[in-house]
Amino acid sequence: MHLAGGDELTCGDVVLCPGSQVDWAAVPGSREAVAGPHASTSYLPEHAPDAWRMLSSLTSGRAVFALSARHVPCMPVGLKPLLMAADHWRRTGVLGDVTVDLLVEGDALAGLARADRELRAAAESYGVRVRTGTTPTSVDPGARTVHVRTPDGPDALAYDVLFLVPPHRAPGWVADSGLDGPGSDGFVAVDPQTLQHRVHPRVWALGDVATVETSPSGGALRKQVPVVAHNLAARRTGGPVRRYDGYTVAPVTTSRRRLLLAEHDRDGNAEPSVPFPDLVRPGRGLYLFDRYLEVQVYWHRLLRGTVS
């Protein structure tokens, strides 16, 4: 393994979890747009505060929210700023003066059918126009226009504010190292169930960089980490391997104080962590859990491998 500082490491098994990064080149003009005052994203920490300032200060005009489906970590979470902003506009009495367009590259707002219905209902309650199968192709920040590809052909939407959930890609060194493969789109080509590399048996990957055939999310790691840890040992001893079923999760606010939790496997089957309460039904308790307790779980348990 060659390090950026010039050092080299010899190793036996290698476990990769470097995440993914924004692919600005996939939507020309998007980087320049978010550098200005009329477009932003919450997918980069330096832009997240500006995103809310931009949305909350809008009192009239058109707000466009464009959600890519290309390797985006926890894509449905990109709906949080939309639904919280719409709730803010309603409470401040300006929602009727704001036209809201939601452009979703995929066919659904979430991978779980019930969650998709809840999110569509929330969007409808705010008067949001939802357009699925709509892919941003470029942004013209000077003209404040986003160009899109739709099932009916190309289109262009003028905007007063634009919120982007941009496409992501794997770090370039993945392909340079030959760890990608046919159909992997530059990501680490692992068996999506065992998380072992398809060609190099001593390479493993998990998280956003791995081809696990499910929506990438931080919460998915709590199921992936035990599989990799077990299978590393099983490969050495010849024991049975564990299999990852594609569990993933998306916590999405539907208003300023309500949130739903969409947990499902790679086939879209519900996989709730607890049998009750109903986690797909938006609730205040779930919002408080996500806002205050989930942070502690991520930093003090998930990242230490103590949650499964």
pLDDT for the residue 301: 80
- 48: amino acid identity, one letter: A
* Rounded distance between C-alpha atoms, residue 42 and residue 51, angstroms: 6
Per-residue pLDDT band at 200 (split at 50, 70, 90): very high
pLDDT for the residue 300: 85
pLDDT tens digits, residue range 245-278?
A: 999 999 999 999 999 999 999 999 999 999 889 9
What value does the mean pLDDT take over residues 25-51? 96
201 pLDDT above the threshold of 80: yes
27 pLDDT above the threshold of 90: yes
- CATH 3.50.50.60-classified regions of the chain: 21-169
What value does the mean pLDDT take over residues 58-62? 98
Mean of pLDDT over the chain: 95
Per-residue pLDDT band at 132 (split at 50, 70, 90): very high
Q: At the topology level of CATH, where does 21-169 sit?
A: FAD/NAD(P)-binding domain (3.50.50)
pLDDT for the residue 307: 65
Cis peptide before 201 (omega within 30 of 0): no
pLDDT tens digits, residue range 99-125?
A: 999 999 999 999 999 999 999 999 999
* Rounded distance between C-alpha atoms, residue 180 and residue 170, angstroms: 9
What value does the mean pLDDT take over residues 123-140? 98
Backbone φ and ψ of 259, nearest 5° = -150, 150
Per-residue pLDDT band at 308 (split at 50, 70, 90): low
Per-residue pLDDT band at 304 (split at 50, 70, 90): confident
pLDDT tens digits, residue range 139-193?
A: 999 999 999 999 999 999 999 999 999 999 999 999 999 999 999 999 999 999 9
As a whole number of Å, the end-to-end CA separation of the chain is 30
pLDDT for the residue 294: 85
pLDDT for the residue 248: 97
Q: Which residue has the higher pLDDT, 296 or 91?
A: 91
* Rounded distance between C-alpha atoms, residue 293 and residue 306, angstroms: 16
- What is the β-pairing status of strands 248-253 and 168-169? unpaired
305 pLDDT above the threshold of 80: no
Q: Which two tokens mark 208?
A: 């956003």
pLDDT for the residue 213: 96
130 pLDDT above the threshold of 80: yes
- Quote the pTM value: 0.94
Q: At the topology level of CATH, where does 1-20+179-308 sit?
A: FAD/NAD(P)-binding domain (3.50.50)
Q: Specify burial of residue 304 (Cβ count, 10 A radius: 0-12, 13-18, 19+).
A: exposed
Tally of CB atoms within 10 A around 97: 11
Q: What is the largest CA-CA distance in the chain?
A: 65
What value does the mean pLDDT take over residues 51-64? 97
